[in-house]
Amino acid sequence: MDVQAALQVLNKALALEYAGVLQYLQQSFLVQGPYREVHADFFRKLSDECRTHAARLGTYIVLLNGVPTVEPAPIRQSTDLTEMLKNSLELEREAYNTYLEGVRVAADEVPLRLLCEELAYDERLHMEAFEKMLAQKALRLADAEREIVLTRSA
């Protein structure tokens, strides 16, 4: 494994997680409308998760004798919920792609590869959630057009 390449990817991921902490917390403050409490809580939880990811990354960077960055990636702000969701999806996609790059760079370094795979999994689930909120997922329910009858088992 190329340690310098791994440190570069991990620091990029760390910067994205820092941005997530701040961006999601800011969104939890700014979100308005009839579903404010639902979205505010959702954004706060994402901010907390980003902080947890950042702690794991920082620990691994030091394990590789590196110095964790203190600079966040760009933070996108908006007061419009749809724009917040789009900004969030963009951040999650960037983090997901960075973790996939980390998997490639880790090569045979199993613990690092596992860390990147776990974090990529989390980011993929977040992408899915934002795509659904933005109605970007074309759901196909073959059984939705027919009646479903539930029967009691004996």
Question: Got the DSSP string for 8-73?
Answer: HHHHHHHHHHHHHHHHHHHHHHH--STTHHHHHHHHHHHHHHHHHHHHHHHHHHHHTT-----PPP
Instruction: Please check the confidence at residue 143 and state whether its pLDDT lies above 60.
Output: no
Range 66-89 average pLDDT = 97
CATH class of 3-145: mainly alpha
Alpha helices in 64-154 (DSSP H): 81-106, 110-133
How far apart (Å, rounded) are the C-alpha atoms in residues 13 and 7?
Answer: 10
Residue 85 backbone phi and psi in degrees, to 5: -65, -40
Question: What is the reported pLDDT for 77?
Answer: 95
Q: DSSP label at 107?
A: T
Range 98-111 average pLDDT = 96
The band of 94, judged by pLDDT with boundaries at 50, 70 and 90, is very high
Q: DSSP label at 33?
A: S
